[in-house]
Amino acid sequence: MFSLISVLFLHIPFAKASDNSVEIRTKGSSSLIHIEQIGTGNTARVWCGLSEGTYITHTCGDAEIDIDQDGTGNTARAYSQVSNHTGNEYTIDQNGHDNFGYIDADDDNNDMDIVQDGDNNEAEIYMQGDDNVYSIEQTGDDKEGEIRAFGDNSEFSITQTGSGEHYAKIYASSSADNNDAFITQTGSGDHYMRLNFYTDDYAVTASQSGVTDKNITVTYDCTVNCNKTITIDQSD
């Protein structure tokens, strides 16, 4: 069985930036890879079923990888680097200039999305585990979001809007399963949030908004007599 690969290039005439580029390396079968680039200077790279670009380490099966870039100077990377995996879905959608989107996924049946609408945004999802749903959505400029997670059956999302330079990170260790966390950052203040998970079964809703800068780091590692439904609201 084979993988289906579709690549569409649309260049802007007379633009001064360099051409778009695509690199695809796969090992495995039955995957769908679609890349569409509009504009110039965009780079898309897919490594599905390898390790550091070599064809000897592991396989990628039944993956769906969709990269759409509209603008100039955007970079999108959809990787797997560690283990055999099947049924993973990657989406990177970039509209603007000089955005960086990175997904590195291993193990099975995960759904990962990065959406960037603006300029100079960075989003990274680096994960290993089964049956997870992870997403980062950035609207505006100069946002940074990161999900680094190694458990199962979790749902994490980061949503960043407004004119502030926001940073958000969700970390989950390999002993942290069945967690949900939803971060929302908006406003003109420069907001910072980091959530760290080391145990199971948390449900966290966290938001930062307003014109003044906000900063919070929280670690979730309770094992006995725990309140695991948490709301964080930092606002003016």
As averages over each run of 10 residues, the pLDDT of the chain (236 residues) reads 52 55 88 94 90 67 95 95 88 98 95 98 97 98 98 98 98 97 98 98 98 98 95 97
Residue type (1 letter), 147: I
* Within-domain flag for 133: no
* Within-domain flag for 13: yes
Domains held by the chain: number: 2
Q: Are 167 and 54 contained in the same domain?
A: no
Q: Residue 53's pLDDT is what? A: 55
* Within-domain flag for 156: yes
Measuring CA to CA, which residue among 11, 78, 67, 86 is closest to residue 41?
A: 11
Q: Are 107 and 14 contained in the same domain?
A: yes
Q: Residue 225's pLDDT is what? A: 93
What pairs with residue 44 in β-bridges? 22, 76
Q: Residue 55's pLDDT is what? A: 53
* Torsion region of 211: left, alpha or beta (phi above 0 gives left; psi -120 to 50 gives alpha): alpha
C-alpha separations of 37 from 12, 109, 112 in Å = 10, 27, 20
Q: Residue 18's pLDDT is what? A: 57
Domain that holds residue 227: 142-236
Q: Are 7 and 116 contained in the same domain?
A: yes
Q: Are 113 and 149 contained in the same domain?
A: no
Burial 107-125 (b: 16+ CB within 10 A, else e): bbbbbbbbbbbbbbbbbbb
* Within-domain flag for 134: no
Q: Are 150 and 117 contained in the same domain?
A: no
Q: Which of 100, 128, 156 is the last residue of a domain?
A: 128
Q: Are 152 and 101 contained in the same domain?
A: no
